[in-house]
């Protein structure tokens, strides 16, 4: 992302923190707005065009999205006022705010991060479902309905809404990447990072504490630890935080040793 988008996204986080109204209703409204911009690139370009007067952009958004609530339009108006590196980034910001508000709505009543990651695993475990959810031939409403049917009541309404929106509006993104990124946003909204920990067996409390301390020391904040059992690890752990890999697995150490001996 460009520098302008990074700065503007930081501002939208503050908008979410000060948002008024029912958080889940706001999230649904923002998802609808983000989807609408996918259907109309010219509108997206106009709303993100910094060369146009801010008030004109805000009036355009208010007119086009007249059916949305006043509170949703207020968040959109604030976002339109900002500068974006690309028009698509404004659309991404609507989605980002929607995910954050869904996380607010859930509070501590549901593990939305874990649910989103579980949905990703479930989708990848069924080739037919993954094909259906990623089909460009299927209507957005059909993909969304399939996702809702897939998760049913197994997850919170917040996680289901996020997942349904993502498959309806993929914008060229892969399902797993979308769900993982959404999980990162939810974690961040709760003041935490997201660390996917690959281990050969479930972590013991003492091991979790050690990893917690490592991540706090490295990144300056606590992380949600998502465990994934992988027998190829042998021992130790491989930790992924965003694009960064911290590899302390025995399998990797052995491979490194083999490489050194071969050299």
Nearest to 32 by CA among 128, 175, 141: 141
Sole residue written with tokens 């008030």? 55
* b/e per residue 55-88 (b: at least 16 CB within 10 A): eebbeebbebbeebeebbbbbbbbbbebebbebb
Confidence of residue 260 (pLDDT cuts 50, 70, 90): low
Confidence of residue 254 (pLDDT cuts 50, 70, 90): very low
Q: Answer whether 129's CB lies under 8 Å from 142's CB.
A: no
Confidence of residue 61 (pLDDT cuts 50, 70, 90): very high
Lowest mean pLDDT among 30-34, 113-117, 152-156, 236-240: 236-240
Cα–Cα distance for residue pair 67/63, rounded to 1 Å: 9
Q: What is the mean pLDDT of residues 161-181?
A: 96
The residue ranges of DSSP E strands in the chain, in sequence order, are 193-199, 223-229, 237-241, 244-247
Token output for 67: 């059916």
Q: What is the mean pLDDT of residues 195-209?
A: 91
Residue 2: per-residue pLDDT: 86
Token output for 187: 């974690």
Residue 259: per-residue pLDDT: 54
Cα–Cα distance for residue pair 57/50, rounded to 1 Å: 9
Task: Kindly report the number of other CB atoms within 10 A of residue 5's CB atom.
Answer: 20
Q: What is the mean pLDDT of residues 195-214?
A: 91
Percent of the chain residues past pLDDT 70, beyond the cut: 94
Q: What is the mean pLDDT of residues 231-249?
A: 81
Cα–Cα distance for residue pair 122/124, rounded to 1 Å: 6
What is the residue-wise DSSP string for 83-133?
A: --SSHHHHHHHHHHHHHHHHHHHHTTSS-HHHHHHHHHHHHHT-HHHHHHH
Token output for 138: 């299927």
210-236 confidence digits (pLDDT tens): 999 999 999 999 999 999 888 777 777
Percent of the chain residues past pLDDT 90, beyond the cut: 83
102-126 confidence digits (pLDDT tens): 999 999 999 999 999 999 999 998 9
């Amino acid at each position: 992302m460009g520098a302008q988008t990074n700065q503007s996204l930081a501002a939208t986080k503050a908008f979410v923190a000060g948002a008024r109204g029912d958080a889940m209703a706001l999230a649904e409204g923002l998802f609808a707005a983000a989807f609408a911009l996918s259907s109309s690139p010219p509108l997206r370009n106009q709303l993100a065009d910094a060369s146009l007067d801010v008030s004109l952009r805000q009036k355009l958004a208010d007119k086009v999205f007249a059916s949305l609530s006043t509170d949703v339009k207020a968040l959109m108006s604030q976002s339109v006022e900002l500068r974006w590196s690309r028009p698509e980034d404004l659309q991404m910001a609507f989605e980002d705010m929607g995910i954050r508000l869904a996380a607010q709505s859930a509070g501590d009543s549901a593990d939305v991060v874990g649910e989103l990651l579980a949905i990703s695993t479930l989708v990848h475990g069924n080739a037919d479902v993954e094909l259906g959810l990623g089909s460009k031939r299927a209507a957005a409403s059909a993909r969304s309905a399939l996702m809702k049917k897939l998760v049913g009541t197994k997850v919170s309404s917040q996680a289901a809404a996020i997942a349904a929106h993502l498959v309806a509006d993929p914008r060229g993104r892969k399902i797993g990447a979308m769900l993982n990124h959404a999980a990162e946003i939810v974690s961040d909204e709760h003041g935490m990072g997201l660390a996917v920990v690959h281990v050969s067996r479930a972590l013991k409390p003492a091991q979790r504490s050690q990893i917690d301390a490592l991540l706090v020391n490295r990144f300056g904040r606590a992380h949600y630890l998502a465990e994934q059992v992988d027998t190829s690890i042998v021992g130790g752990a491989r930790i992924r935080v965003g694009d960064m890999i911290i590899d302390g697995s025995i399998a990797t150490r052995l491979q490194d040793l083999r490489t050194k001996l071969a050299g």
